[in-house]
Amino acid sequence: MKPLTPSSHLSVKIILAMAFVVACWGYSPTGIHIGLQAYDPGHLALLRFLVASVFMAVLAVFRGIRLPNLRDWPLLIVLGFFAVSLHHVALNFGQQGVSAGASSVLAQTTPLFSTLLARFVFKDRVSVWRWGCVLLGLTGVVIVVAGDHGVGSIDARGLLILLAAVSWSFYFALQKHQSGRYDGLTLVCYTVWSGTALLLIYLPGLASEIVSAPLHVQWAVVALGVFPSALAYLGWAFVLTHVDLSRATMTMYLIPPTAMAIASVGLGEQPTLMVVVGAVVVLVSVLALNLERRFFGIQVASV
């Protein structure tokens, strides 16, 4: 058996980081649905990121991070707005009327917006093959949505989840193109802290909801704060330092089937046959993207 090369070690780390991020963000819809049993959407977003902020502060003390340059504060505030404030408030309000499985699928329109940003704003090269993968994945998204409760049953709150997806795509693109200034931990810490500060407008009334919330809801919110809101952001920052934006965001197509599996256990949601078919289509799009690297990478390199 051949020993792993440094390149192989890095590839394994990237795959593990992607799997961890998918698992964390796959839990998020279920955690949000549980949290909404006792919390207002705005209060839930604030409490979730207060937990994340404390966790990141402890991590920053042990690992050490540098203060940001004064000129970078506007960027950090913008990242916090898109990644934390707008995204999670829209997501929480949207999930009041959409199942965990459907919300996870609607959120995965992010690759479409990310690809458009990568191509038309940041001038990244996006191959025809990747465009095809995106379209195939979105076809799977439509099938899943239709198989959940029917497309016509998704009201304006479903559009709020699409708004959350647009917000997240802006965060992904800005983070990718500005990550050279700071390491992943530093950038994530200040993004979480600035986004949490913007959420403080929801502070009034939060204490009373904390006191009255059941214990299982409290644990669900703590898990939301630590895993999807802190550790997953760190994992995603690591992935984006080694993988281009268009390919990295395709990994997010794995979140819907993961979220549906978690929701079936945690919430008793049972996906229909159409949901399963749509999930398979989504997974095929991810496989097709990986095949591009294997079968077309040599051709591109030889030009």
pLDDT tens column, 225-234 = 999 988 887 8
* pLDDT at residue 3 is higher than 60: no
pLDDT tens column, 60-107 = 988 888 888 888 899 899 999 999 999 999 999 989 878 887 788 778
Q: Tell me what the mean pLDDT of segment 11-15 comes to.
A: 83
The closest alpha carbon to 257, from 273, 224, 236, 280, belongs to 280
| Maximum mean pLDDT: which of 152-161, 221-230, 252-261, 282-291 | 221-230
| CA-to-CA dists, residue 163 to 90, 168, 192, 253, angstroms | 7, 9, 19, 17
Query: Which of 14-28, 210-224, 238-252 is predicted with the least confidence, judged by mean pLDDT?
Result: 238-252
Handedness of CA 70, 84, 115, 16 (dihedral sign): positive
Handedness of CA 260, 261, 267, 272 (dihedral sign): positive
Q: Tell me the angle at which helices 100-107 and 128-148 cross, rounded to the nearest 10 degrees.
A: 160
| Maximum mean pLDDT: which of 14-18, 40-44, 74-78, 147-151 | 40-44
Q: Tell me what the mean pLDDT of segment 176-180 comes to.
A: 64
Q: Please tell me which residue, 164 or 4, carries the higher pLDDT value.
A: 164
Number of C-beta neighbours around residue 162 at 10 A:
17
* pLDDT at residue 44 is higher than 80: yes
The token pair at 163 is 């708004």
Q: Please tell me which residue, 52 or 97, carries the higher pLDDT value.
A: 52
Residues near 143 by beta carbon (within 8 Å), at least 6 away in sequence: 274, 275, 277, 278, 281
**What integer pLDDT is reported at residue 155 of this predicted model?**
59
